[in-house]
Structure 1
Amino acid sequence: MTTIILGLDGATFDLFEDWLPDLPTINALIDEGTSSTLWSCDPPVTSPAWRCYATGKDPASLGVYWWRQLDRKTNTYVGATDIPLTSKCYWEYLSEEGDSVAIIGVPLNTPPREVNGHLVAGGPYADPDDYTYPASLQDTLESKFDYQLHPKVDPPSVDDPTTTGIVDDLEGMIHQRFDVATWLKETESPDLLNLTLFYINHLQHKAWDDDAVKQLWMTVDQRLSELIDDGDDVIIHSDHGLAKTERVFYLNGWLRREGYLQLRDDTKVNHAAASKVADRYSGLDWTDVVTTAWDTGRSTAQRLGVENLLSNLIPNRVRRSIPNGDSGGRIVDASSFEQRIDFEASDAVALPHGLIYVLTDDDARRDELMTALAAVSDGQTGTSVFTSIELADDVYSEPIPQDAPDLIARWTSGFEIKDINADEESRVFGPPQKFRADNRPDGTLIAAGPRIAEDAAINPHLIDLAPTLLHFHGAPIPDDLDGVVLDDLYAPESKPAISTPETIPGEEIRGDRSTSESVEDRLQELGYLE
C-alpha cells in the first residue's frame, strides 16, 4: 500500500474539466473521492509555491517570494537559488520516522538532500550534474531510462509550441518520469511516492487548451492508471491554477507613470540625439533588424550543429536584450532596468505577479499608493485590474522578514501582471505576449483511496498538504508549520481520522544554495523573468 502524490504544475479545473470524459482515471478519482479548489500561496507562482507545498510554510517563513527578489540592504536583485532552503520538507520528517519515500521531480528541491529512499530533483533549478539522492541513482536513470532532466526546446521560447517535435519531447519526458516512478514502486515499495510533472505547464502557458495540451493530459491519465494498485491512496494536486490571458498590466510602467518609481538621471536618453537618429532611419524597424540578425545567425548555427556553442559564447546580458518574436519589441533587459532604478528617489518598485516593495517610510504615501492601485481599471474593458491590495503583514505569518515585499496585489482573472522592467513610461496596458494563460491562485486537489473521505467539505490551501500528509502517515507535526491538518479529508474510522496529531519542535537546518550556472538562462528562456 503506497500513498501516491501526483503534482501537476499549473493544473486547474477550468482547463481540464471538459476533458474528463477522455481522462477516465482522473474522472474516477473525482467520483470516488474528494475534489476541491486548492488555494496557492501569495503570489501563486511555481517559485515559491513548490517549496511551500514541501514544507507547509508560507513564503515569508521561507524567505522566498518569486524567482527573483529585492535585497534591501544592497538594492540589488537576487535569485531564489541564492536563498537556501533551511526548512525540512515533509518527506524528510517521514524519513526520520522510518517511512520509505520516492520523490521524483518536485521543483525547487535542489541540491538533493538525503532521504530514506530515493529523490530526483525537478524543475528549472535541477542541476544536470547533481540531481539525485543517492548520487548513484543518476547514472542508473541515465543508463536505464535515458533520463532527460530538461526539455530540448522550451515551449515558451518558440512561436508555435504545438509542433510535433516539441510535444513529442514533453510527452517523452512524462513517460520517463512515470517509468521511473513505476520502477521504484515495484522494486522498493515506498510508503510514499511523490511524482511531480513540472514542464507540462510550459505548454499550458503557451498553448492553454490546445489539443496538444489535452494529448499530454491523456498520457498522464493513462500512465497514472498503470501506476495505481488496489489499496493505494492517491492525491493529485497543483501548485497554482491558470487562466486565459486577455490583457497584460505593466506594474512598473504604471508606477513610473504615476511618479512612484524614478530612474537615475544619468541613464536618461538624449532625446535630441535620438530624434535625429529616428528621423534619419525612420523607415527601419530596429526590432526587425536585431531579430533578423539573431535569427539568421541562429539558423546558420543550427545547420552547422553548433547552436549550443553559439548560445554559450554570447553573454547573458546580450541574449536577454534580443527581442522575442511575441515580446512586443522588448529590447530592455531586466538587469539593465534594475541598474537604472533610483532607489533613493523612488517610493515603490514592483516584481511581476503583484509584489510591491515600498521604499518610503511615509505611511501616508504608502496608503495613497494602495488606494490608487485599487482604483486601476483597464480603459478598454473597464475591468478592475486588482481584486485587493494587501499589506504583507495581513497575508503572511509573522514575523515578516525585512526583505519581504510590503504589498501583495491580487489581480483579476484574465490579467497577467508584469514586469520587472518597464520598456517605456507610457506602457501600462498591452495585449498578451508569450503566454496565452497565466497564473491564478485557484489550483486543484483530487484525493481518493481507502483512507480518503468521499465528498469531504474542505477549503484547502497548498501549505496544508504537508501537515496533512505527515499525520496521514502517523508522523508528528512540527510546531512551526503555517499549514493545518485537513482533518475532514480522512475517511471516517481511518487511523488518521481517529487519532490526534502529535507535535514536535520545528527544526531549521543548514541549506545549500543551487550551484547550477545555467538556472537564470533557463528561467529567461521559459519567460519567467520578463
Structure 2
Amino acid sequence: MPTPRLIIIGLDCMEPSLVFDRWREDLPNLQRLMAQGSYGRFESSIPAITVPAWSCMMTGRDPGELGIYGFRNRRDRGYHSMGISDGSAVKFPRLWDWLGDAGWQVAALGVPGTSPPYPVNGSLVSCFLTPSTEVPFTHPPELGDQIRNWMPDFMMDVPNFRSDDKARILDNLFKLCDQRFTLAEKLIAQDQPDFLMLVDMGVDRIHHAFWKPMDPRHPQYEPDSPFANAIHDYYVHVDQRIGELLRVCDDDTAVLVVSDHGAQPLMGGICINEWLIKNGYLTLNEFPPEPVPLNEVSVDWSQTKVWGAGGYYARIFLNVKGREPEGTVAMTDYEPLREELTAKLSQLTTPTGDPLNVKVFRPQEIYQKVRGRAPDLIVYFDDLAWRSVGSVGTGDLYTVENDTGPDDANHAPFGLMIFHDPRSPQHGQVLEGAQLYDIVPTLLHRYGLEAPKDLRGKILNL
C-alpha cells in the first residue's frame, strides 16, 4: 500500500481564478496536478463560510442538517444568543471516521470543525478555534507534547489578522503555513498513515489582510504598496510546500487539493439593521450616537418584527409570537412577511443606483433538513462581494469598511478542487458542476466503502 493512500491538502479560501488563470505558470506543482488529473471550480455550501463549509465537505451534510449556519449561531431563542459553534456541534461522522472504521490509519491536521479534538483511528490536531496549545488540542493527548517539542511556538491561527500591523501578519502567515506542512511531513514519516488531511488557514487570512494592494478592482486599491505581491508570493510558497510534501509521499499516493470557498475584493457593506429600521421592521428605544453592535442598544421588541445579523451574508430573524420571548409576528403572517422582505431586499441597489444582485434563500428550500435555530432568511449581496454589517448608529445604508476590523476581501461562492490519482490519470480533465458535498460520496465510492443513502452529494467521475 502507498503511504499515504490518499492525501487531502485543504487551502481555506483559495481562489480558483488566481490558480487556474492569473498565476498558473507560477505554480508548477499545482499545474502538474491539474495537467495529470482533474480540476475545476467547486461550489461551496450556502453560506460559503469556513464554519460550516469544511464540516459540510467532510460529512456530506448541509448546514441545515448540521444545524450550523455560520461562524456564529443562535444558542437559544433569546435575542442576543449568538455563539460560536465548535466541532462538538457536528453530530455526523466525517470522512476520516469512515476510513478509520474501515481500518485506515488517519491523520487530520487543523481541519476547521475539529476543536475540541476527539478520538480517531490515528491522530488529530484541532483547528483555529482552539484558543492555544495550553488546552488539549490533539488526539492522542501525548501528540500535543510531541508537537510542542518539535515546534515550541506552534500556532493555531494568525492572531488578530484583521489589523493594520501588516508586516507582523505576513510573517505569522508564512510561519503558520510552514508549521502545518512540516507537521504533515513529520507525521507521514513517523506514523505512515493511510490517509492524511491538512488545512492551511493562511490563504484565507492573507486575502483578508492584503487584497487591496493586489487588485485594481478593489474600491480602495493601493497601487505601489510594498505588499502588492504578498498574495502572489504566498501562493507560490504554498505551491512549493505542496511539492515538498508530495515528495515524502509514495509515487502512487492520490492527491486532492481543495478550497472550501473562493475570494473576491470587498466592495463594501450593507447595514442590514439600518435598512430594517428605515423600513419600519426594527424599532430602537434610542438611537446610538456612534456605530455599535445591535446587542449593545435598547431595542423595543414589542414594536419589532425583524432583526438582522452581520457577517459575510445577512441573517434575517423574524420576531415570532410563541417562539421569541416578545414575539410580534403571528404564524399566519410568517410566510407573507418572508415574501415581503424577499421582494423589498431584492430591490436594493449599490450607492450609485446600479442593481445589487441580491439573492434571498429560505433554509427550508435549500437544505435537506433544518435543525437548530436557523435564520428565517439568508441573504447574499452580489454573491458575497458586499458584506452584511450588523451595527446600528451608522446612519447610512452603506459602509466601505467591515465593522469587525480592517478587511480587504470577502468570500466567493466557488472554491477549487484538483484531484490526481497516479493510478488513473485524467490528463487535465476539467470538472463541471462539482460541489463541496460530492467529496465524501466520491471518495467513499472510490475506496469501496458504502456511503449512507441520504448524503447530499453525487459521485464525481475522477
TM-score, normalized by the shorter chain, greater than 0.5: yes
Contact 1:126–1:149 (Cα < 8 Å) also in 2: no
Cα distance change of structure 1 residues 14 and 342 upon mapping to structure 2, 3 Å threshold: farther
Query: Equivalent residue for 2:148?
Result: 142
Q: Counterparts of 1:483 and 1:414 in 2: how far apart (Å)?
A: 23
Contact 2:384–2:411 (Cα < 8 Å) also in 1: no
Q: Counterparts of 2:360 and 2:75 in 1: how far apart (Å)?
A: 22
Query: Which entry has the higher C-alpha Rg, 1 or 2?
Result: 1
- Decide which structure has greater helix share: 1
In percent, how many aligned pairs have the same letter? 28
Query: Equivalent residue for 1:106?
Result: 111
- Matched to 2:305, the amino acid is D
Q: Is structure 2 residue 242 aligned with structure 1 residue 224?
A: yes
Query: Equivalent residue for 1:262?
Result: 283
SS in 2 for 1:410: strand
Q: Is structure 2 residue 194 aligned with structure 1 residue 191?
A: yes
What pairs with 1:382-461 in structure 2 (closer than 5 Å)? Answer: 382-386=354-358, 388-398=359-369, 400-401=370-371, 403-413=373-383, 415-424=385-394, 426-433=395-402, 434-450=406-422, 451=424, 453-454=426-427, 455-461=429-435
Query: Equivalent residue for 2:443?
Result: 469
SS in 2 for 1:155: coil
Contact 1:108–1:126 (Cα < 8 Å) also in 2: no
Cα distance change of structure 1 residues 459 and 385 upon mapping to structure 2, 3 Å threshold: closer
1:92-125: CA deviation from partner (whole Å, max 9, x where unpaired): 1111110111111101211111111111111234
What pairs with 1:207-246 in structure 2 (closer than 5 Å)? Answer: 207-208=210-211, 209=214, 210-228=228-246, 229=249, 230-246=251-267
CA drift at 1:10: 0.7
What is the aligned residue count?
419
CA drift at 1:402: 5.5
Higher mean Cα deviation, 460-469 or 24-33? Answer: 460-469
Cα distance change of structure 1 residues 369 and 98 upon mapping to structure 2, 3 Å threshold: same
Q: Is structure 2 residue 185 aligned with structure 1 residue 182?
A: yes
Q: Is structure 2 residue 91 aligned with structure 1 residue 86?
A: yes
Contact 2:316–2:376 (Cα < 8 Å) also in 1: yes
- Alignment partner for residue 50 of structure 1, among 50, 54, 68? 54
Contact 1:108–1:125 (Cα < 8 Å) also in 2: no
Alpha-carbon RMSD across the aligned residues, in angstroms, is 2.2
* Unmatched 5+ stretches in structure 2: 215-227, 320-328
Cα distance change of structure 1 residues 138 and 59 upon mapping to structure 2, 3 Å threshold: same
Q: Is structure 2 residue 41 aligned with structure 1 residue 37?
A: yes
Which consecutive segments of 4 or more residues in structure 1 shift more than 4 A?
none
What pairs with 1:161-176 in structure 2 (closer than 5 Å)? Answer: 161=166, 163=167, 165-176=168-179
SS in 1 for 2:18: helix
Q: Counterparts of 1:25 and 1:241 in 2: how far apart (Å)?
A: 20
Contact 1:251–1:417 (Cα < 8 Å) also in 2: no
SS in 2 for 1:64: coil
Q: Counterparts of 2:18 and 2:401 in 1: how far apart (Å)?
A: 18
Q: Counterparts of 2:431 and 2:267 in 1: how far apart (Å)?
A: 33
Query: Equivalent residue for 1:289?
Result: none
CA drift at 1:449: 2.1
* Unmatched 5+ stretches in structure 1: 275-329, 490-530
SS in 1 for 2:270: strand
- Alignment partner for residue 458 of structure 2, among 476, 480, 484? 484
Contact 1:60–1:396 (Cα < 8 Å) also in 2: yes
Q: Is structure 2 residue 320 aligned with structure 1 residue 348?
A: no
CA drift at 1:33: 1.4
Structure 1-normalised TM-score?
Answer: 0.74
Cα distance change of structure 1 residues 249 and 191 upon mapping to structure 2, 3 Å threshold: same
Contact 1:111–1:127 (Cα < 8 Å) also in 2: no
Q: Counterparts of 1:84 and 1:125 in 2: how far apart (Å)?
A: 15
Contact 1:68–1:77 (Cα < 8 Å) also in 2: no
Cα distance change of structure 1 residues 452 and 94 upon mapping to structure 2, 3 Å threshold: farther
SS in 1 for 2:197: strand
Contact 2:10–2:197 (Cα < 8 Å) also in 1: yes
- Matched to 1:200, the amino acid is V
Contact 1:120–1:131 (Cα < 8 Å) also in 2: yes
CA drift at 1:236: 0.9
Higher mean Cα deviation, 136-145 or 126-135? Answer: 126-135
CA drift at 1:88: 1.5
Structure 2-normalised TM-score?
Answer: 0.85
- Matched to 2:169, the amino acid is I
CA drift at 1:70: 2.9
